[in-house]
Amino acid sequence: MLSALLVALREGVEAALVVGIVLVYLNRSGRRALKVYAWSGVILACAASVAAALLLQRWAVSEDGFEGLLMLVAAALVVTMIVWMNRVARSLRKHIEQRVEGYAQRTTRAAGWAVGIFVFFMVVREGAELVLILRAVELSSTGVQIWVGTLLGIAIAVAVGFFFFEGTLRIPLHRFFTATSVILMVVAFQLALTGVHELSEATWIWSSKTEMALVGPIVRNEVFFFAVILGAAALVVLREFFSARRPAQEAATNPAERRMREWEFRRQRRWSFAAAISCVLVVVSLAAEFAYGRAMNAPSPAKTLVAQDNRVRIPLSELTDSSLHFYTTDVNNTVIRFLVIHKTTGDYAVALDACQICGRAGYRQAGQNVICRNCGASIYAPSIGNQGGCNPIPVKSSIAGGEVIVDLSALADAAATIHS
């Protein structure tokens, strides 16, 4: 949610600045009649962005490899967005005013179309970036939270743009873009790291147990990046707090103005310090919660089965729910841990509590998802029994006499495929 809010806020403020500069210039140059074309461009750009979002939402990306590529593209877009805005921020107003002035020299209808098309492409560029980046963020987050964060970010951006151009909000834009650039670099890093993890999980690129263990828990843990983003925000705010300079007394024309400037300076410092402390406290609480969750994340207990005729049997009566059931048995003096699940499709699946990438780290269940304890990869429970990626290594089994029957040879063959 926080990543979506930040991306939407940044893209929304950039679009609001473009529209605001165009509208202010048209007012100032006596070309108010062209404002309707500018607003038409804004409306069409918003409609096009929403349509693109809906189309991309219907494109159900299910392959880990394609998800990884989309995340890497989104990370590249975030970085290029930051570089572009930081490069043109100082000359943005002048550049836009020159372009609008050139278009406005034409006849009224031609000038209107030109201004409208210019605004459309400037705004739709931001909208297209927003849609693609948020689609990539949504692949590794909760959909509802992404929409809430996006709408909240856009609403704040619209408010910032309105009050900024109305003159009621004093915000140093260079500080705003500096702060959001630092935080969005964290978002880009998360997207890139997640993309690499997805490509590794899909075996599109080389991966190992060590790499998955290092990268997986980071990209799968939203709390970690939430804490990192808040920590970055706290550092930026504290930097502004310590670098803020007291207003020069000689610049004030009278004592009342000096007192007003002094009061505004103190108020800004108080708010900055309070915001930084709040971020730090949230980071500390999240870190404590994460540490507690890791400590409580012990492997689920497993029932020991004794083989008869080189087979182990699990009564179907033990598998009435859709939860993971863990078992161990002795195969050639080696204890093998495996799991059995009654899937929502009605089938029964048997698999080792291990995968070919992360080894014997094992799994835990979270709702309809099964989570790898090593890399944090989320596996859809009904897909257990399928080969590949971080899925549990499937084991051949059969059902007879109201029991799931597993040959010890099948367990041994599956265990032999685990990479050491």
Question: Residues 122-174: pLDDT tens digits?
Answer: 888 777 777 777 766 665 555 566 777 777 777 877 776 776 666 544 555 56
Q: Which of 16-30, 36-50, 269-283, 396-410 has the lowest mean pLDDT?
A: 269-283
Name which residue leads in pLDDT, 31 or 90.
Answer: 31
- Reported as a single tens digit per residue, the pLDDT across 200-239 is 766 777 766 666 666 765 665 555 655 666 666 666 666 6
Q: Which pLDDT score, from 0 to 100, does residue 285 have? A: 58
Phi-psi region of 309 (alpha: psi -120 to 50; beta: other; left: phi over 0): left
* Phi, psi for residue 107 in degrees, rounded to 5: -65, 165
pLDDT > 70 fraction of the chain, expressed in percent and rounded: 65
Of 364, 363, 352, 349, which Cα lies nearest the Cα of 398?
A: 349
* pTM summary value: 0.51
Q: What is the third-level CATH fold of 303-415?
A: Rieske Iron-sulfur Protein (2.102.10)
Question: Can you give the residue ranges of every domain in the chain?
Answer: 2-220, 303-415
Of the candidates 303, 398, 306, the one whose C-alpha atom is nearest the C-alpha of residue 350 is 398
253 against 71, higher pLDDT? 71
| 121 compared with 297, residue with greater pLDDT | 121
What is the rounded CA–CA span in Å between residue 325 and residue 340?
5
Percent above pLDDT 90 for the chain: 15
Residue 213 tokens read as: 């263990």
Contact indicator for 340, 327 with CB cutoff of 8 Å: yes
CA distance 100 to 32: 13
What tens digit of pLDDT does each residue of 44-101 get? 988 888 888 777 767 655 565 677 777 788 778 778 777 776 676 666 667 777 777 7
